[in-house]
Amino acid sequence: MLKHLLKVMARDYVAYILIFLIISTGLYAYYIVDASYMAADAVVEHCILDYKPHFTIKFIQIGR
C-alpha cells in the first residue's frame, strides 16, 4: 500500500512540474490535477484523504 502511495505521489509531482511549465493560468491545471486525484481516490481512498488537501493548497499557491 505504501509503495503504491509513493508511486501516486511521484506521478503527481511530475504532473505539477509539467502543468506549471506548460500552463500558466491556474484554472486548467487545477482541473487536470483534480481529475488525477479522482482517479487515485478509487484505488487508495483512505490514504489519499490525508495528503490531498495539502497538495491541492500547495498547487493553488504555485498556480497563482
User: Look-up: residue for cell 497563482?
Assistant: 64
Provide the pLDDT for residue 4: 74
pLDDT per position as a tens digit, 24-50: 555 555 565 666 666 555 554 444 444
3-state helix, strand, coil in the chain (%, to 5): 90, 0, 10
Whether this prediction's pTM lies above 0.85 is answered by no
Domains contained in the chain, number? 1
Q: Supply 31's cell numbers.
A: 482541473
- Range(s) of the domain holding residue 34: 2-63
pLDDT per position as a tens digit, 50-60: 444 444 444 44
